[in-house]
A and B are shown apart, each in its own frame.
Chain A
Amino acid sequence: MSRLIKNEFKKLFSRKLMYVLFIIIIGAAIMANLLYNTSMSYIQNENLEQSLAYYDKELKSTDYKKEEQNSYYINIKTEYDLTKLKLEYAPNSWQNNFMNNSDTVYLALNEINQNTYGLNKDSKKLQEAQEKFQKIKERLDSGDWKSFVSDQLNTNKEEIAFYEEQLKSIKDKNTVEEIKQTIEMSKITQQTLEWRLEKNITYDNSFLSSKIEEYTFGAQSVKRLENKENRTKEEEHEYQESLKQMSIAKYYIENNIQIENEYDARYVLSNLTNEYGIFIVIFSIIVAGTIVSNEFQKGTIKLLLTRPYSRNKILFSKFIVSIICIFIFIIIFIIAQYFIGGIIYGFDVFNIPEVEYNFNTNSIVVIPVLQYMSIKILCVLPMYILLTTLAFALSTITMNSSIAIAIPILGYMVSDAINIFIDRVKLLKYFVTANWDLSVYLFGGQGIAEGLNFWLSIAICCVYLVIMLVVAFIVFKKRDIKNV
């Protein structure tokens, strides 16, 4: 057996095809890393200029002296001024993000415009407003972002106090609920503002700043759904996802973990099968789909079959080689990603662990990158093995490489589409596509359909594997080698 396997490898690695595949791997790794490296900041700047031109056009076609157009004019003028101000600062600067996040600057500009063009303009108020804006501008220019946060925090606290006061006097049940909800939301904002001060997180595009936004979205969604009775399936899913998003963001903020670029080489390595899965699948299918049929097409199968080895041994050695090839491709991708990503982003990025949320224990799980990557790869391994086995079986049964390659690749492409119909066709949950990706069960996750669990999925995959192999081995053993 080992002699047969050794020979299969020798044949495989003498083919030019393999070297083409290795070059594709390196190319894909470089592309994937560079793609995530390109900054999006310039796009933002372009958008601002486009908006500016639009507001300008609108202003020219509007007359603020006409009563019915006055308020619209003021609104547009304020937006115009704000956009112009944003352009003064670098794209993605804290000033820009702050202006997007808070209405402080907008209100100040609006007051100026109200008193310049408004129907009830007042020169005294205008002066006051201008002075106020001037102060804000000075603070923006000086880089004193913390003072803005403190301002916001104070306003927020006042708001909460105001609503709590209101609660005491209102009896209507619905209104009470509404106000309670508002208070909860404000408290979330208060939490994030306190974090900004405490952890020194500016309004820039940094990782932690984005985590604060994620926390806000997640926490708001959780609060909204938490007390709701009879959550629908979609709502339940949203609740779980939000809980996860919120908890993970909170972990990063509280532990002050700074990641320069979230979607860097580390992300690609951790989620290796997301980025390179299609390559691994196609390459493995190409190998398995040609390993038997090529020998039939070239007639070299006769050379193998007239040697002192049973047909079962010959076929089994080819199957083993096909499966080992999956691992070879995965390992090469890991190495390529590690080194190419490491060279582009620095190898330090791989030291930051991955953070996941476990739904079973409702707690945060911290996993080193390589371990996280390995778990994820193990989870999709059933899919890879089954697709490769399908290609191998088709290659053996049809002796036609094209069919043996095309059908499994097609199956891989449409597997997600098939899974959509699970809700309508109940029996589909026993189909292989619903079970071959075990990553849904990770960290306390649920199966694609009701009634599925981790061990059942593995059992279903095994049944499919055995059926395909048994058919392939019987056909191969019984086959008469026809005269060419």
Chain B
Amino acid sequence: METDVLSCEGIYKNIHRKPIIKGISFNIKQGEILGFIGPNGAGKTTTIKLIIGLQKLSKGTIKINGFNVEDNFEKAIEKVGTIVENPDLYMYLSGYDNLKLVSNLYKGITKSRIDEVVKLVGLENRIKDKVSKYSLGMRQRLGIAQAILHKPNLLILDEPTNGLDPEGMKQVRELIAKLAKEEKMAVMISSHNLAEIENVCNKICILQNGEIVEQSNLEDIKKEVSKGEYVVEVDNPQKVKEILNCEIQGEKALIKATRDEIPEIISKLVKNNIRLYSVTENISSLEEAFLKKTGGNKIE
């Protein structure tokens, strides 16, 4: 039985009478990783702040584990771990003390749980150092450790890869995938860059100007963007055109075919003494699909 860990229904938020969030609804079930995508200023961070009670809703309901965030905040937030904007850390304390402060706020977080989490995020060698000496990537990882210390079943991360180098991004992505799998959390990740998180998400929500413009499973989007085209890289594209009657793009040939036809086409080309370097499916990236949906990076 899958229940909604987080459900948002028709939420609105006005700031200085200007509508920022215009009635969005979505939900996350256990084990799901939701990618919350949108250009800067679309309202991603505001939505997250509404969910975790940092800002008050203008209209709508948000329930976490069945508890209404507005009416029953303490219960609702109990099993939520978050990082909003930047990891919130006390720079003058050591990484360990930062975790200790969090552990003091919950019942039953043992010392071994802290050690376990430290190991999980890979900070065991530097955990006694002051946070002010940490690199951005280390702070991000400590922030995640802080967010998961109390074993939440909903993890909400706002732009967790922001400001990280490719290596750092990869580490964070791997960590999130690992957490979702090992700790069985529902995860919500916001990002303005789909490519960064498309590998870890299994559900996508695209937000623009405070409205959800697309909400679907990643598999569905992937099918949607598949065009049934294959690119063949050969030494003599002209000859391929003669054999298969296809289009030519520079040094490459474009073949319209289904997946099942590909092996036959390859053997045909080989028999015709064509030197074949590679065959790849020509799909538009999620990024392209995303841009198509949102109509560029415009902010109202």
Question: Residues of A at under 8 Å CB distance from B?
Answer: 3-4, 6-7, 10-11, 14-16, 298-303, 305-310, 478, 480-481, 483-484
Contacts and interface: CB of A to CB of B under 8 A. Distances in A.
In this complex, the interface size class of chain B, counting residues with CB under 8 Å from chain A, is 20 to 34
Interface of B: 15, 45-46, 49, 52-56, 73-75, 77-78, 80, 82, 84-86, 88-93, 97, 100-102, 104-106, 146
Given A7-B104, A299-B88, A306 B82 contact: yes
Contacts of B77: 306-308
A481 B49 contact: yes
A483 B49 CA distance: 9
B54 A302 contact: yes
A302 B88 contact: yes
Nearest to A294: B90
Contacts of A3: 104-105
Given A10-B97, A303-B102, A480-B55, 5 more contacts: A3-B104, A7-B104, A298-B91, A307-B106, A483-B46
A484 B90 contact: no
B92 A15 contact: yes
Contacts of B88: 298-303
Contact of A4 (B74, B82, B89, B105): B105
Given A7-B105, A10-B101, A14-B97, A306 B52 contact: yes
A305 B92 contact: no
Contacts of B101: 7, 10-11
Nearest to A6: B104
Contact of B53 (A4, A305, A484): A305
Nearest to B100: A10
Contacts, number: 78
Nearest to B73: A310
A10 B90 CA distance: 11
A306 B54 contact: yes
A14 B78 contact: no
B56 to A, nearest CB: 6
Contacts of A480: 15, 49, 54-56
Please provide the 7 A-B residue pairs with the shortest distance between their CB atoms, ordered closest to farther.
A303-B88, A481-B54, A480-B55, A308-B78, A308-B74, A300-B88, A306-B52
B130 to A, nearest CB: 10
A302 B147 CA distance: 12
B75 A308 contact: yes
Contacts of A481: 49, 54-55
Nearest to A307: B105
Contacts of A303: 88-89, 102, 146
Contacts of B146: 303
A478 B78 CA distance: 21
Find the residue from B53, B75, B100 having the highest chain A CB count within 10 A: B53
Contacts of A478: 56
B74 A309 contact: yes
A268 B77 CA distance: 52
Nearest to B56: A480
A306 B53 contact: yes
Contacts of A483: 45-46, 49, 85
B289 to A, nearest CB: 28
